[in-house]
């Protein structure tokens, strides 16, 4: 932990890490890649039915922490997570937890749109099929349509559902991935820089979509763009070199940051 | 001058041109204001290539052509009865002359033979002299031409890259031409066979029995006692290949899936090379493993449950062949499965798939073209495999779908037909080429079908 630009990091996170109706509660989380510490003693609540944004410079651990929330870090052999991450008061890292239904409850949208090399229909139908959510073919079709509608993609693709999802434009692919995630009916959606590879128009559509989705889902979004965090999120957490520096209501954090590091970052002095 | 000295000399000339060219550009650019267009060594490489490549071609062509031309030239010195006689005698006489000319003399040859040999010597000396003069002069002329072109404005990099491009095209052409050459030589010999035996008999006949081929069939056009129905051979080939693939494809594919999706990097690093050792074992070794170990086991197991098993069975050969081709399937499939992007795996896992759902529904479909390719490679190995069959499945051309019978394959028959001294005019010998041609056509068709299947079902992930 060096290079704090001469500013001491706080021992504890500035701002209120707890909220009233928390969906996820994280207590003293540490993440290590082999011997390298990626997340350092992090405690934070994720508020239900709200959008929480993680911001911070590259390598600050925001994506790592996001991937802890649905245990995607399990696929990395060298990664170890300690501490508590409670979903509805149940530690998701407890040995009796089965990671498969967990990931169905906590969906994820990735940085680079990664549709399966299958048809648009099959991409969205994949989740309902593996989880046995559809009772019949027509039920499945309804679910696919519903998910595509929610992702705002239905009008664009309804006539070519049998064409490959990889043939869509970048923004459409990302919305397809969101539709695919929604189709599993998750409770929480994690988004890892979902717009970093998209042009401004596609980005605007996704942001609009996030706003709509937040009425139904709890959303956590990692973003590089502070404007995006300001536009879409209700609560923002600022990460710096593996520590959670400051957290607060988005408006407040962007207008009157309490910690010097946060202020430097959002005024564009580094990062 | 002999060829080795000649090549050495051309090499020396080429190298001198390299240094000359470089020296010229260095001195010229020292005087001129202009910077040379290309890096300095390109100005040496251009004369170097021009000096050596055409010369090497001349030497190669003269080497190939001179024996041929000499035989034609020397023919006029042969006595009339040999010159007008049959092709075979003429060939023998010509090679005797060549032997005498190179100092290998058996007994006391006739005077005209010695005279012809002397002529041969003179002609071949002349040929060598011509080669030398042509090669050296083309080397010097083209080298100097290139040398004269060297100046700072000359785009020698482009010129050199053009030469290299042509050389690469030539190399790829060699591979294609060789394939075409092989196919044509097989086709011509097959046509000679089909002049003796009707294609219908060959393709539809159910009995393969070339052993009683007599001179009467080849010489006078009479029917011989031999029969050339190739169906049992192809049936045997497919039976054994099918058994081999039934072993190799599931085992190889499962191993590949384990290695790429489940095994830890350390296990993978150990197991994969170990499996590839299987591919390095000579097929002869597999052959006696099949004949001495597996065949008796199969036989014992069969008899213990009351089945009659031939001591050489298709099953034993097929099983061992299957083991042999496991690494072809597993190693290649493992590579293509690994090439499926991690982002697709993340997507599947992020939706709550289990590892096996992810593998079956996302990874394998994406890797399908590569997997089919690896199976195809295994098929062609199985169809073309000879040694194991010769040793373990026998040579009896039975038409049988029972894997416990002795069968034989196309390749095994080709070997038995062509081993030893053979009369090259007989239908028996020529049948080997017809078999080879049919085999080539069949594998080609299989490849085309598989390519169509891949095209239809592939899932492109880029």
| pLDDT tens digits, one per residue of A132-166 | 888 899 999 999 999 999 888 999 999 999 999 99
Q: Please count the other Cβ atoms lying within 10 Å of the Cβ belonging to residue A143.
A: 21
Which residue of chain B has the CA closest to A166? B461
At a CB cut-off of 8 Å and minimum separation 6, what does B95 contact? Answer: none
Looking at CA atoms only, how far is residue A85 from chain B in angstroms? 18
CB-CB: which of B347, B354, B361 is closest to A114?
Answer: B347
At a CB cut-off of 8 Å and minimum separation 6, what does B187 contact? Answer: B437
Cα Rg, chain A, nearest whole Å: 19
Per the document, the length of chain A is 271
Cβ-defined contact of A116 to B459 (cutoff 8 Å): yes
Cα separations in angstroms, A174 against A33, A67, A135, B3, B136: 29, 18, 27, 67, 67
| Interface of chain B toward chain A, CB-CB under 8 angstroms | 264-265, 341, 343-354, 357, 361-362, 365-366, 459-462
Closest CA to A81 of A101, A96, A61, A98: A61
d(CA B50, CA B13): 11
How many CB pairs below 8 A link A and B?
73
Tokens 């349509």, residue located: A145
CB-CB: which of A110, A126, A131 is closest to B343?
Answer: A110
Per-residue pLDDT of A66-106, as tens digits, reads: 999 999 988 888 899 999 999 988 999 999 999 999 999 99
CB-CB: which of B344, B351, B361 is closest to A103?
Answer: B351
Spell out the domain ranges in chain B: 3-186, 231-461
Tokens 């990889």, residue located: A166
* Residue of B350, B361, B366, B455 to mutate for A, most A C-beta atoms under 10 A: B350
Closest CA to A219 of A231, A243, A235: A235
Do A222 and A252 meet the contact criterion of CB atoms below 8 Å apart? no
**Phi first, then psi: what are they for A191, rounded to 5°?**
-125, 125
* Residue of B348, B351, B360 to mutate for A, most A C-beta atoms under 10 A: B351
Give the pair of three-digit tokens for residue A160: 């070519």
CB-CB: which of A75, A104, A118 is closest to B352?
Answer: A104
d(CA B280, CA B285): 11
Closest CA to B135 of B57, B44, B19, B47: B57
Alpha helices in A62-197 (DSSP H): 62-69, 99-105, 120-130, 137-150, 154-157, 170-182
Looking at CA atoms only, how far is residue A238 from chain B in angstroms? 25
Looking at CA atoms only, how far is residue B348 from chain A in angstroms? 8
Cβ-defined contact of A131 to B352 (cutoff 8 Å): yes
Level-2 CATH architecture, domain B231-461: Orthogonal Bundle (1.10)
> Coil, strand, or helix at residue B461?
coil
- Per residue of chain B (462 residues), give pLDDT as tens: 688 899 999 999 999 999 999 999 888 888 877 788 888 889 999 999 999 999 999 999 888 888 788 888 777 777 777 776 677 777 777 888 888 877 777 777 777 888 888 888 888 888 889 889 999 999 999 999 999 988 888 898 999 999 999 999 999 999 999 999 999 999 998 998 898 888 888 888 888 887 655 544 444 455 556 788 889 999 999 999 999 999 999 999 999 999 999 998 899 899 988 888 888 889 899 988 988 899 888 888 888 988 887 777 889 899 999 999 999 899 889 999 999 999 999 999 999 999 999 999 999 988 988 898 889 888 888 888 888 888 888 778 888 888 888 888 899 888 888 887 777 677 888 888 999 999 999 888 888 888 887 777 766 665
Task: Give the DSSP per-residue string, B297-343.
Answer: HHHHHHHHTT----SS-HHHHHHHHHHHHHHHHHHHHHHHHHTS-HH
Cα Rg, chain B, nearest whole Å: 31
Name chain A contacts of B354, Cβ cutoff 8 Å: 100
d(CA A85, CA A72): 14
Name chain A contacts of B349, Cβ cutoff 8 Å: 72, 75, 103
Task: Give the DSSP per-residue string, B186-231.
Answer: HHHHHHHHHHHS-HHHHHH-S-EE-TT--HHHHHH----S-EE--H
Cβ-defined contact of B362 to A116 (cutoff 8 Å): yes
Looking at CA atoms only, how far is residue B326 from chain A in angstroms? 28
| Interface of chain A toward chain B, CB-CB under 8 angstroms | 70, 72, 75, 77, 100-105, 107-108, 110, 112, 114-118, 126-127, 130-131, 164, 166, 177, 180-181, 184
Cβ-defined contact of B352 to A100 (cutoff 8 Å): yes
């Amino acid at each position: 932990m060096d290079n704090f630009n001469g500013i001491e990091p706080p021992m504890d996170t500035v701002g209120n890490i707890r909220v009233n109706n928390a969906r996820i509660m994280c207590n003293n989380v540490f993440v290590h890649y082999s011997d390298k510490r990626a997340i350092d003693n992090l405690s934070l609540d994720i508020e239900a039915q709200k959008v929480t944004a993680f911001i911070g410079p590259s390598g600050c651990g925001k994506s790592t922490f996001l991937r802890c929330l649905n245990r995607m870090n399990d696929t990395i052999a060298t990664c170890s997570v300690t501490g508590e991450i409670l979903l509805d008061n149940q530690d998701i890292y407890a040995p009796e937890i089965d990671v498969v239904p967990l990931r169905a409850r906590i969906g994820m949208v990735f940085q680079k749109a990664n549709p399966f090399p299958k048809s648009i229909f099959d991409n969205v139908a994949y989740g309902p099929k593996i989880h046995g959510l559809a009772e019949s073919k027509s039920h499945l079709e309804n679910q696919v349509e519903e998910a595509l509608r929610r992702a705002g993609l239905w009008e664009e693709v309804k006539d070519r559902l049998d064409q490959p999802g990889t043939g869509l434009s970048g923004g459409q692919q990302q919305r397809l991935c969101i539709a695919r995630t929604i189709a599993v009916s998750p409770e929480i959606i994690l988004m890892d820089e979902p717009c970093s590879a998209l042009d401004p128009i596609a980005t605007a559509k996704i942001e609009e979509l996030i706003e709509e989705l937040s009425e139904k889902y709890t959303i956590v979004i990692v973003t590089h763009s502070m404007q995006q965090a300001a536009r879409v999120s209700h609560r923002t957490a600022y990460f710096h070199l593996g520590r959670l520096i400051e957290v607060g209501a988005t408006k407040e954090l962007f207008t009157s940051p309490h910690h010097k590091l946060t202020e430097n970052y959002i005024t564009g002095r580094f990062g | 001058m002999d060829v080795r000295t000649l090549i050495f000399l051309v090499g020396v000339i080429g190298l001198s041109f390299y240094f000359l060219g470089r020296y010229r550009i260095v001195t010229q650019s020292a005087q001129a204001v202009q910077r040379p267009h290309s890096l300095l060594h390109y100005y040496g490489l251009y004369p170097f290539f021009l000096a050596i490549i055409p010369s090497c071609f001349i030497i190669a062509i003269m080497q190939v052509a001179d024996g041929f031309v000499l035989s034609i030239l020397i023919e006029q010195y042969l006595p009339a009865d040999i010159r007008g006689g049959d092709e075979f005698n003429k060939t023998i006489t010509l090679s005797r002359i060549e032997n005498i000319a190179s100092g290998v003399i058996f007994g006391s040859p006739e005077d005209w033979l010695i005279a012809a040999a002397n002529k041969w010597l003179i002609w071949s000396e002349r040929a060598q002299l011509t080669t030398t003069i042509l090669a050296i002069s083309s080397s010097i002329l083209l080298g100097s031409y290139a040398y004269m072109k060297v100046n700072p404005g000359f785009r020698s990099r482009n010129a050199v890259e053009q030469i290299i491009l042509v050389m690469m095209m030539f190399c790829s052409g060699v591979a294609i031409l060789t394939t075409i050459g092989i196919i044509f030589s097989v086709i011509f010999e097959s046509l000679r066979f089909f002049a003796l035996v009707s294609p219908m008999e060959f393709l539809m006949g159910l009995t393969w029995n070339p052993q009683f081929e007599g001179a009467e069939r080849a010489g006078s056009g009479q029917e011989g006692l031999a029969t050339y129905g190739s169906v049992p051979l192809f049936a045997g080939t497919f039976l054994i290949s099918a058994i081999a693939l039934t072993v190799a494809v599931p085992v190889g594919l499962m191993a590949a899936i384990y290695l790429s999706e489940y095994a830890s990097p350390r296990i993978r690093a150990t197991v994969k090379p170990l499996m590839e050792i299987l591919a390095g074992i000579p097929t002869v070794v597999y052959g006696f493993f099949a004949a001495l170990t597996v065949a008796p086991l199969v036989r014992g197991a069969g008899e213990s449950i009351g089945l009659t098993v031939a001591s050489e069975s298709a099953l034993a050969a097929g099983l061992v062949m299957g083991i042999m081709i496991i690494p072809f399937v597993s190693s290649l499939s493992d590579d293509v499965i690994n090439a499926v992007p991690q982002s697709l795996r993340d997507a599947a896992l992020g939706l709550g798939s289990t590892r096996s759902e992810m593998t079956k529904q996302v990874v394998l479909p994406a890797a399908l073209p590569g997997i089919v390719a690896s199976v195809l490679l295994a098929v062609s190995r199985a169809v073309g495999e000879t040694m194991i069959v010769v040793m373990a499945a026998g040579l009896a051309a039975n038409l049988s779908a029972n894997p416990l019978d002795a069968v034989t394959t196309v390749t095994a028959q080709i070997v038995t037909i062509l081993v030893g001294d053979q009369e090259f005019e007989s239908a028996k010998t020529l049948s080997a080429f017809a078999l080879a041609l049919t085999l080539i056509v069949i594998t080609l068709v299989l490849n085309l079908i598989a390519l169509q299947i891949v095209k239809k079902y592939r899932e492109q992930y880029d």
